[in-house]
């Protein structure tokens, strides 16, 4: 079973949080607000997205690389995650 | 008029995109999927959030610092944005 | 006086630290070492560079934007720093 | 042979570049300069450090996780790199 299936409940809970934060930001923009609050809300969404990303990266490296018995498959599965990690290290 | 009010339409369009990407990720998690696709979708959401953040930072620095005639107010308004920029430079 | 001239001593102290960390990394690579230590040393250098960058960004925004009496000059000086901030928000 | 030993020449070349950029920044700070140039030089150093970090992370994941036959050792070696990746995803 893939980690994103096994961890589906946790991932959906994280996603619900991001969706809730986005809805709150939408309400904020549609009513009187301080732009400092918009900045803060966006920073909260960014933090939640990064947290979810880290969980998926860690799950992928653990399930599809560490626990994968075949070296060739480990190598292929590592390639998937390296692109995402590179995008953070630009 | 604050930049987040003036740019409300553009900001809501960006937010709609983030909400759409999140809904697509939710569907993905609730159906058969490749975890590589989950990683890619999260990276897309992250990019959209960063793009929206940059627009708000730029709008804030332009409207509340560059165009603000009072130096003391410029200084106060800079402080709001510095905290967010610092969070990116950790 | 520009902030990087006024803060020269502090900036050179930060830079000396980065140069010292780099020299330590060089010695590490030229002798027996654990690659975990190489990772840690690079993370320390990265943190020091980000810290120095934040000091220069803050000094630039304060001296050349907040304290600049001419709006047109404030706008031009903001442009210099926006490019760097954008590179962190990709 | 560890990847940081095998790739020693490449890693030292990257480090020499970072050291050269730091020396150039030192000269810049000790002479007349534009603070925009200081920002640009720091951004170049940051890029070089991130590039070196990515090479070490990729080498570590490949040599100590993908090519490691023992699952328990793969798991331990993954832990080393996860901390560094997390620092980028904050």
Q: Summarize pLDDT for B54-74 with one digit per residue, the tens.
A: 999 999 999 999 999 999 999
Per-residue model confidence (pLDDT) at position A6? 87
CA-based nearest distance B80→chain D, Å? 20
DSSP chain D: --HHHHTHHHHHHHHHHHHHHHHHHHHHHTS---HHHHHHHHHHHHHHHHHHHHHHHHHHIIIIIIT-S-HHHHHHHHHHHHHHHHHH--
Nearest residue to A15 (alpha-carbon basis) of A26, A30, A4: A4
CA distance A64 to D67: 13
Asked if the C-beta of A31 comes within 8 angstroms of chain B's C-beta atoms, the answer is: no
Select the residue from C46, C50, C68, C73 to test the D interface by mutation, using most D Cβ atoms within 10 A: C46
Q: Terminal CA-to-CA distance of chain B, rounded, Å?
A: 32
The topology (CATH level 3) of C3-88 is: Methane Monooxygenase Hydroxylase; Chain G, domain 1 (1.20.58)
DSSP letter assigned to residue B7: T
For A34-89, how does the pLDDT look when each residue is reduced to its tens digit (9 = 90+)? 989 999 999 999 999 999 999 999 999 999 999 999 999 999 999 999 988 998 88
Instruction: Identify all chain B residues contacting A56, using CB atoms and an 8 Å cutoff.
Output: 35, 38-39, 42
Asked if the C-beta of C26 comes within 8 angstroms of chain D's C-beta atoms, the answer is: yes
Asked if the C-beta of A70 comes within 8 angstroms of chain D's C-beta atoms, the answer is: no
Q: Do B65 and C78 touch (CB under 8 A)?
A: yes
Asked if the C-beta of A90 comes within 8 angstroms of chain C's C-beta atoms, the answer is: yes
- The first and second tokens of residue C67, run together, are 């304290």
The burial of B79, by beta-carbon neighbours within 10 Å (0-12 exposed, 13-18 middle, 19 or more buried), is given as: exposed
Residue-by-residue pLDDT tens, chain C, 90 positions: 688 888 999 999 999 999 999 999 999 999 999 989 999 999 999 999 999 999 999 999 999 999 999 999 999 999 999 998 998 887
DSSP letter assigned to residue B30: T
Q: How many CB atoms lie within 10 A of CB D49?
A: 26
CA distance B82 to C56: 12
| CA nearest to D24 within chain C | C15
| CA nearest to A87 within chain C | C90
Angle in degrees, 0-180, between the axes of helices C71-88 and B71-88, rounded to the nearest 10 = 10
Nearest residue to B83 (alpha-carbon basis) of D75, C83, A43: A43
Q: Do B71 and C67 touch (CB under 8 A)?
A: yes
Contact present, C43 and D84 (Cβ < 8 Å)? yes
Residue of B53, B71, B78 lying closest to C89 (CB–CB): B53
ipTM of the complex: 0.90
| CA nearest to B46 within chain D | D89
């Amino acid at each position: 079973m893939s980690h994103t299936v096994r961890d589906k409940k946790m991932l959906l809970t994280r996603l619900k949080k991001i969706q809730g934060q986005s809805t709150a930001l939408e309400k904020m923009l549609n009513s009187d607000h301080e732009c400092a609050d918009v900045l803060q809300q966006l920073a909260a969404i960014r933090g939640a997205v990064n947290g979810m990303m880290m969980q998926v990266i860690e799950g992928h490296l653990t399930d599809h690389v560490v626990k994968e018995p075949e070296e060739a498959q480990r190598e292929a599965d590592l390639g998937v995650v390296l692109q995402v990690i590179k995008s953070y290290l630009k």
